[in-house]
Amino acid sequence: PRRVAAVSMAKRVGDELGDHGDRVAYQIRFEGTVSPKTAIKFMTDGVLLREVALDIALRKYSAVVIDEAHERSVNTDILIGMMSRVVRLRDEMALEDPSIKPLKLIIMSATLRITDFTENKTLFDKPPPVVQAEGRQFTVTNHFARQTRHDYVEELFKKISKAHKKLPPGGFLVFLTGQNEITHLSKKLKEAFKIGTMAAGPQVRISGQDAPAEAEDVDFGGLMEEELDSDDESVHFEGDDNDDAEFDVGEDEEVGPAKMHVLPLYSLLPTKEQLRVFEPPPDGSRLVILATNVAETSLTIPGIRYVFDCGRSKERKYDEKTGVQSFEISWISKASANQRAGRAGRTGPGHCYRMYSSAVYERDFRDFAEPEILRMPIEGVVLQLKAMNLQHVVNFPFPTPPDRPYPQPAKSPRSDPQCLSSHSLLASPAFSSSATSTAASPTPSP
């Protein structure tokens, strides 16, 4: 699901194959290295959806691997539903024409809720086999905060500043919710460490609500916790905020480098800039990556030993009563928190510093993230499926079916004759250019 993952994986697999590296390519929006020699292609889910729309049987592929399926984006859910039907179609075609081979479908994830797929009769008639491949994961020690503070960006600045001074060598990966927070924290760190020494203290207090608002970073719903969570005070943790015990990692190594090499990582960053995180930092500098949940999965950044997790992410929300979509900052799931912590244990033992208490983690964090399709207006999903020439959308095999009723023509202006030429938005095979434009629009119907 990530551009930077598709590009970096293609490069890594090409390097591993040596002389056969020219057979590996990637394809992302507006960019790709595909050639007639290509045998393995890494692509984003959006690219594959467009290919399915052009050839429903995907005749040029023998196997499709869908990775990071636990993210459950609308694209991923639609893609999995489509592929369940493509596999059946290829089986039927193979019986009629021996030159056409069946298609293999592999759905992968480290934290997938398996029952969404194995117990979904609409998706798969027979439960697909489940293969558990144990990965090599080094030990990661989690350090919870004693108090869950509202101004988590400021707390991260203090924590990173102290950790940089106290911890042995190793890269920092810091999770924030958006570009705006990344920009401000980056500025504060660069100002504080511009001469390679600790600054006297923070000059400006920055929080998620104080920062200048941008379209990507507006919090329409407000944060979910108060200045101090009421459950925090009664719980004591070894990682007290007032001492340095949490930075005693039990290693007799030299103190880390004095300088910082700070890099941003978020989805709107140009691909070339995103790939800078894989480059080694300058000599005598500690790599510090300020990232959104783009870095949560898919990527293994060399040298990362310490993760700093704000415990929040920006999610798209939909108010069914008002028909308004918005981005809100909210708690992540336990599965996402474990994924973030795991980034510190990819190449060696690591530590994860969580900007929230264990009480908040146990009480407010869901086990798994809610599928995006349950947080989206159903009209857009229906039109996206109709744009792919699907006739009976109501029967589409979603991994998690939408919990809202499908729109009917009398209720939705989007289903007027300019968009669909039949009487039903759900069953009409006819789809006009006007509807194609409407499907690309993020505006829900009133």
| Residue at 445 is within a domain | no
Q: Which residue in the block uniquely carries the two structure tokens 């809610």?
A: 370
CA dihedral over 411, 417, 419, 422, signed as positive or negative: positive
Is a pLDDT exceeding 60 seen at residue 443?
no
Alpha helices, DSSP H only, in 254-405?
271-274, 334-342, 358-364, 378-387
What pLDDT, on the 0 to 100 scale, is given for residue 214?
Answer: 31
Task: Examine residue 323 and state whether it is found in any structural domain, yes or no.
Answer: yes
pLDDT at 440: 52
Does 163 share its domain with 289? yes
CA quadruple 192, 194, 198, 199: dihedral sign:
negative
| % of the chain at pLDDT higher than 90 | 41
Q: Which of 306, 338, 373 is the last residue of a domain?
A: 373
72: pLDDT strictly greater than 90: no
- In angstroms, the CA 176 to CA 406 distance is 35
Same domain for 159 and 280: yes
Burial class of 162 by CB neighbour count within 10 A (0 to 12, 13 to 18, 19+): middle
Tens of pLDDT along 77-109? 999 999 999 999 999 999 999 899 999 999 998
Q: Is residue 439 part of a domain?
A: no
Laid out side by side, the sheet with 31-32 consists of: 31-32, 24-28, 40-43
Please give the distance of CA 89 from its chain centroid, rounded to a whole number: 30
Q: How confident is the model at residue 156 (pLDDT cuts 50, 70, 90)?
A: very high
Q: What pLDDT sits at residue 59? A: 93
Q: Is residue 109 part of a domain?
A: yes
Q: Are residues 168 and 311 in the same domain?
A: yes
Compare 80 and 215 and report the one with higher pLDDT: 80
Tell me which of 88, 119, 150 is where a domain ends: 119
Measured CA angle at 86 (ends 85, 91), to 5 deg = 100
Residue 243: per-residue pLDDT: 52
Per DSSP, the residues of 6-28 read: HHHHHHHHHHHHGGGGGGEEEEE
- Specify whether the CB–CB gap between 286 and 172 falls below 8 A: yes
How far is it, in rounded angstroms, from Cα 329 to Cα 99? 52
Does residue 100 sit in the same domain as residue 156? no
Pick the residue with more confidence: 130 or 211?
A: 130
Same domain, 14 and 161: no
Band the pLDDT of 250: cuts 50, 70, 90: low
Q: Which amino acid does the sequence have at 198?
A: M
Q: What's the domain range around 337?
A: 140-197+252-373
* pLDDT bucket at 27, cuts 50 / 70 / 90: very high
Number of Cβ within a 10 Å radius of residue 63 = 11
Q: Which residues pair with 329 in a beta bridge?
A: 314
Location of structure tokens 């992968």: 108
Q: Please, which contacts does 274-280 make with residues 24 or more away whose CB atoms are closer than 8 Å? A: 274/3, 274/4, 275/4, 275/7, 275/8, 277/301, 278/8, 278/302
Q: Are both 166 and 286 inside the same structural domain?
A: yes
Residue 380 lies in a domain: no
Q: Is 354 left (phi over 0), alpha (psi -120 to 50) or beta?
A: beta
* 84 and 22 within one domain: yes
List the Cα angle 393/394/398 in 5-degree steps: 80
Which residues, 6+ apart, have CB-to-CB distance to 220 below 8 Å? 317, 326, 327, 328
Is the pLDDT score of 242 beyond 90? no
Asked if residue 179 and residue 315 are part of one domain, the reply reads yes
Residue with tokens 């070894």: 238
Residue 41 reports pLDDT greater than 80: yes
Over residues 148-155, the mean pLDDT reads 94
- Which of 336-340, 350-354, 406-410 is least confident? 406-410
Q: In which band, very low, low, confident or very high, does the pLDDT at 272 lie, cut at 50, 70 and 90?
A: confident
Q: What is the mean pLDDT of the chain?
A: 79
Nearest to 220 by CA among 205, 206, 207, 208: 208
Unique residue bearing structure tokens 């081979």: 101
**Region 5-16: what's the mean pLDDT?**
90
Instruction: Check pLDDT > 70 for residue 11.
Output: yes
The answer on 329 and 298 residing in a single domain is yes
State residue 415's pLDDT score. Answer: 46
**Alpha-carbon radius of gyration of the chain:** 24
DSSP-assigned beta bridge partners for residue 260: 286
Give per-residue pLDDT as tens, 132-146: 887 767 899 999 999
Identify whether 309 is part of a domain: yes
Give the C-alpha separation, 273 to 275, whole Å: 5
What is the rounded CA–CA span in Å between residue 46 and residue 35? Answer: 20
Domain co-membership, 186 together with 290:
yes
In a domain, 193, yes or no: yes
Residues 167 and 310 both lie in one domain: yes
CA dist., res. 69 & res. 249, Å (int): 34
Sign of CA dihedral 330, 334, 335, 337: positive
Mean pLDDT across 416-430: 45
H or E element at residue 184? helix 179-192
**Number of domains the chain is built from:** 2
Same domain for 170 and 291, yes or no, is yes
CATH of the domain at 106: 3.40.50.300
- 186 confidence band (pLDDT: 50, 70, 90): very high
Q: Which helix (H) or strand (E) holds 312?
A: strand 312-319
d(CA 407, CA 131): 39
Q: Which of 373, 406, 440 is the last residue of a domain?
A: 373
Residue 421 covered by a domain: no
Name 338's Cβ contacts closer than 8 Å, sequence gap at least 6.
111
